[in-house]
Amino acid sequence: MIKKKGEYGYRKYFKIKNAIIIGFFILIILLLFIASKNTKEDISRILLVSSILTVLPMANLLAPFLVVFKYKSFEYEKIKKFLGDKHFLFDIILTMKEQVMPLDIIYIDGKKIFALLSNKADKNRTEEFIKERMKIGGINVMVKVCDNFNEINKFIKNTENDEDLEEIRAIFKSLSV
Cα–Cα distance for residue pair 149/70, rounded to 1 Å? 20
SS3 content of the chain, % helix, strand, coil (to 5): 55, 20, 30
Q: What is the pLDDT of residue 150?
A: 85
Q: What is the pLDDT of residue 125?
A: 93
Q: For residue 4, count CB atoms less than 10 angstroms from its CB and return exposed for 0-12, middle for 13-18, buried for 19 or more.
A: exposed
One digit per residue, the tens of pLDDT, for the chain of length 177 reads: 889 999 999 999 999 999 999 999 999 999 999 998 888 888 888 998 999 999 999 999 999 999 999 999 888 888 888 888 888 999 999 988 888 999 999 999 888 899 999 888 889 999 999 999 999 988 899 999 998 888 888 888 766 666 678 888 888 888 898
